[in-house]
Structure 1
Amino acid sequence: MIKVAIADDHQTLIDGICLRLENDKNIDLKFFTNNGRDFLKKLKNTPVDIAIIDIKMPKMDGVSLTRVLRAEHSDIKIIVLSMFDQIDAVRKMIDAKVNGYVLKTSPMDELVIALREVYEGNDYFDDHLEGISELFNKREKSEKSKLSQTEKEILDLIAEGKTSQEIAEVRQSAVSTIDTHRRNMSHKLGLYGKGELLRYAMDKKYKFD
């Protein structure tokens, strides 16, 4: 039995998924929430095998939720269910190490197939995603100089509006270390004006808006 949970702020969609899964004897929908923060609260008492998550949600979005799940619940597999079909959105979630990506515009059976494939240990990406083959065959270079994984993680925290002090607390490092990373990122990306790094981080976080 595949234990599944959903985080999506569109209740109508959740109702549709519930209706589709209720007659599937191999899938057990344990719970659903409308944001990532509530998802994590429910997860404490109800373990699941697969999380189905939207990207944009209130309180905690799919990017942030994925980061927490990967850090604290690495055994849970993650399938993105989103309206965003732009390659930038897909790339960001692949970088966050999701196991699958299904478009909301695809038939509901596509999600069911994804659940089964991912549960078996395979990755599953919707065939309707334009450019997905090219993305896996050839990962493009980043803008001016490739950021390290640490810098990407700090950039995501900057996009959430966190200060260097707050980022240091999250990453359990010195504030001076975070400031050094900020300077290095600004140099790599050619961002030298006050507030430019924050604007860049916000733009990259939801570049697919």
Structure 2
Amino acid sequence: MNTNIVILDDHSILVQGLKMMLENEKGFSVVATFLNGNNIVNFMEDHKVDIILLDVTLPGKDGIELCREVKLLFPECRIIMLSNHTERSIIVKCMQNGANGYLLKNISVNDLLQSIKEVMAGNIVFCNDTKKIISKILSNQPIEPINLTKREKQIIQLLAQGKTSVNIAQELFLSPLTVDTYRKNLLQKFQVKNSTELVSMAIQKNIIED
């Protein structure tokens, strides 16, 4: 079964290069390319799209806002941000808006292909450079150890894979309410506001396996 991919970037040379590369891979179909986000929603109303490779900087509506809009309308579609922006605030905002991953454009072809496969499997993906950026939350402060139970570590690992409380509950044979309680306790332990920051902190502290 083919993975239907849309590429959305305002650099036509990059778009064409990505299109040629992906179409040479078995199981991938590039069903459309766009240089801006004006027509993507209309296209998705009539076509099945599994993954969007989305740049942050676009003419008109930027990729961060477009990510939020697409996710609200088509929650099953996976979005991988593919950008040159290295600001942590932008990366976090993209993840808060529903992105399934954030890759820098200097990523290798093999890593891009693997990232697409990982996202289709339900995981959240970051390239190594992005992991380093988002892990600098407390880079100028001593890192205090956080004592976690085995169950808490399992839940953080599953959150990093993009799984919902319902998914985690099914996998660990718990109730969704119990998983939500664990998640809220973890937010307090790590002193963060949401699951994205929790995952970022866990990467910094080497709690999540690469």
Could you state the TM-score of these two structures normalised by the residue count of structure 2? 0.61
Gaps of 5+ in 2: 140-210
Secondary structure in structure 1 of the residue aligned to 2:29: strand
1:111 deviates by: 1.6
4+ residue segments displaced more than 4 Å: 135-138
> 2:101: which partner in 1?
100
Instruction: Report the residue type matching 1:59 in the other structure.
Output: G
1:132 deviates by: 4.3
1:130 deviates by: 5.5
Q: Work out whether residues 78 and 120 of structure 2, in 8 Å CA contact, stay in contact via their aligned partners in 1.
A: yes
- Give runs of aligned pairs for residues 81-96 of structure 1, distance below 5 A: 81-96=82-97
> 1:14: which partner in 2?
15
Q: 1:133 to 1:66 in 2, by over 3 A?
A: closer
1:72 deviates by: 0.7
1:110 deviates by: 2.0
1:108 deviates by: 2.4
Task: Calculate the aligned-residue CA RMSD, in Å.
Answer: 2.0
1:133 deviates by: 5.5
* 2:67 is aligned with 1:66: yes
> 2:192: which partner in 1?
none
Q: 1:135 to 1:117 in 2, by over 3 A?
A: farther
Q: Alignment length, in residue pairs?
A: 138
Instruction: Report the residue type matching 1:116 in the other structure.
Output: K
Secondary structure in structure 1 of the residue aligned to 2:128: coil
How far, CA to CA, are the matches of 1:79 and 1:133 in structure 2?
16
Q: Work out whether residues 102 and 110 of structure 1, in 8 Å CA contact, stay in contact via their aligned partners in 2.
A: no
1:109 deviates by: 2.3
> 1:51: which partner in 2?
52
Percent of matched pairs sharing the same residue: 28
How far, CA to CA, are the matches of 2:72 and 2:51 in structure 1?
15
How far, CA to CA, are the matches of 1:121 and 1:61 in structure 2?
25
Q: Work out whether residues 87 and 130 of structure 1, in 8 Å CA contact, stay in contact via their aligned partners in 2.
A: no
Q: 1:35 to 1:84 in 2, by over 3 A?
A: same
1:33 deviates by: 0.4
